[in-house]
Amino acid sequence: MCGIFGMTGHKDAGRLAYLGLYALQHRGEESAGIVTYNRKKAIYYKGMGLVSDVFDAKTVKSFRGDMAVGHVRYSTTGSSLAKNIQPFLVKHKRGYIVIAHNGNLINTIALHDEMEDRGSIFQTTMDSEIIAHLIVRYLNRGFKGSVISALSQLRGAYSVVIMLDGLLIGARDPYGFRPLCLGKLDGAYVLASETCALDLIHAKYIRDVEPGEIVFIDRGDIKSVKPYVKQKSALCIFEYIYFSRPDSNIFCNNVYLTRKRLGRRLAHEYKLDDCDLVMPMPDSGSYAGIGFSQESKLPFEFGMIRNHYVGRTFIQPSQFVRDFRVRVKLNPVKDVLRGKKVVIIEDSIVRGTTSRARVKTLREVGAKEVHMGVSCPPIVSPCYYGIDFPTKRELIASKRTVKQTGDFIGLDSLQYLSLDGMLKSMPLAADKFCTACFTCKYPTKLPKKFSKSILERG
Ligand code: SF4
């Protein structure tokens, strides 16, 4: 997963991109980059780590130009490479090309091989570089024509912000897997993965870029095209369940309220009348936890407190504290939990190992019973469209029954929200969503073989 941002026609575009990336930090903590453009020269600022680590006051002060494109990258296993920091920037005789991409393409290997056979040389393993090569290939069709032709070659999930010389472009794949919204500030257009980035810079939300739409923004002028064959939409339902920020509106609807509805629906399906309290696993389980508490009438408590100031640690945990990795992030409140029958609300279970460690901690501090409600169905299949789930083999629900999963985690009982319950909690019709990680029904054709690296991109 990644967060993307673009702005044109504002004298503070670089600084506002920096703020926008702050708001999108949850979408990627591995690296951050901003390209600013003053209509003559593009300048690249980038680095590994959080936005606050990468850009210092001096850098932010030095931003020049009325255009900027920014990106935060999610840390995926084994691909923590400085050369893969985005946005991707190249200088071409026709001008600068800058690309920030969110999502995973599923035909990367085929495109890559075909381009190498034609003589292209790649510097990175990023999808964005492939998009840049395709744009250059079609530049004789004009800037707009080249983008339309380039994007038509892509399969899979992409929300992109592209800067092509002085033109800012935003696009979503025809299925609309990943979000992208359009806003305006002081007459200047902004593109961002989530509306929370618009809120932070006081930009007004205008609308979402629609699935299959490309918007071309030339300072204050905007043109929209939908050049591709219309597809049945496949919005990523996981954006609502876990990934997006609760204060964002995704696919035109609020995430916080949706998560609360998931929790309410779960309370209908999971009756635990004699429990003492409901507690979330902070922070992502909090909103479903509130919904569950309101519906079940069980009191809501924070049984685990999150430490918001955890950076990287360089000590060997085992030498000091047995369950250091769990406790450094979440510490139990003993006096709330001792002797109590508790229901934990989780947004999802992937491998089950983190939940297992946390449940063990609750038992150690004296919780009498530990039950768990999960605000989505079991995740049984990997995502090929940009969410960094592990392989099928590592997904606990793909190889264990619900009872076996509960036993592995160390629970008195475990219940997932049903597929029907999840879909009925959504603010949009069920057929608008991709649910492949729960159902194995992928909305696109998948290539026969994925290399490991394809799951490392995005
Ligand atoms: S497979 Fe799951 S995580 Fe991936 S796009 Fe579909 S719903 Fe989202």
* Bridge partners of residue 40, in order along the sequence: none
Q: List, in sequence order, every beta strand (DSSP E) within 369-435.
A: 369-374, 413-416, 433-434
pLDDT of 12 over the 90 cut: yes
pLDDT at 327: 67
The pTM of the whole model exceeds 0.85: yes
When comparing pLDDT for 177 and 446, which is higher? 177
Which distant-in-sequence residues (6+ apart) come within 8 Å of 36 by Cβ? Answer: 13, 14, 17, 42, 43, 45, 63, 64, 65, 67, 68
SS3 label, residue 131: helix
Q: Which atom of ligand 1 is nearest to the CA of 438?
A: 2
Going from the Cα of 104 to the center of ligand 1, the distance in angstroms, rounded, reads 11
196: annotated active-site residue = no
213: confidence class by pLDDT, cuts 50, 70, 90: very high
Q: How confident is the model over 355-372, as a mean pLDDT?
A: 95
pLDDT at 419: 98
pLDDT tens sequence across 323-344: 566 667 788 999 999 999 999 9
pLDDT at 226: 97
pLDDT at 456: 42
pLDDT at 77: 40
Find tokens 């935060």 and name the residue: 72
pLDDT of 454 over the 50 cut: no
If you write DSSP's letter for every residue of 278-335 in order, what string do you get?
Answer: EEE-TTTTHHHHHHHHHHH-PPB---EEE-TT-----S-HHHH-TTHHHHTTEEE-HH
Q: Atom 2, ligand 1: which residue's CA is nearest?
A: 437
CA 167 to chain centre: 26
Alpha-carbon distance 111 to 119, whole Å?
12
Q: Which atom of ligand 1 is nearest to the CA of 157?
A: 5
pLDDT at 457: 39
If you write DSSP's letter for every residue of 41-82 in order, what string do you get?
Answer: -EEEEEEES-HHHH--HHHHHH--SSEEEEEEE---TT---G
Q: Atom 4, ligand 1: which residue's CA is nearest?
A: 383
Query: Per-domain residue ranges for the chain?
Result: 2-234, 255-306+316-442
Going from the Cα of 437 to the center of ligand 1, the distance in angstroms, rounded, reads 5
What type of residue sits at position 12? Answer: D
Superfamily for the 2-234 domain: Aminohydrolase, N-terminal nucleophile (Ntn) domain (3.60.20.10)
When comparing pLDDT for 370 and 74, which is higher? 370
pLDDT tens sequence across 31-88: 999 999 999 999 999 999 999 999 999 999 999 999 999 999 986 543 557 888 999 9
| Helix and strand counts by DSSP (H, E) for the chain | 18, 23
Q: What is the mean pLDDT of the chain?
A: 91
CATH 3.40.50.2020 given to domain 255-306+316-442: yes
pLDDT tens sequence across 85-117: 999 999 999 899 999 999 999 998 888 888 888
284: confidence class by pLDDT, cuts 50, 70, 90: confident
Alpha-carbon distance 341 to 355, whole Å?
17
When comparing pLDDT for 273 and 207, which is higher? 207
Find tokens 């926008």 and name the residue: 20
pLDDT of 179 over the 70 cut: yes
Q: How confident is the model over 202-214, as a mean pLDDT?
A: 98
pLDDT at 324: 64
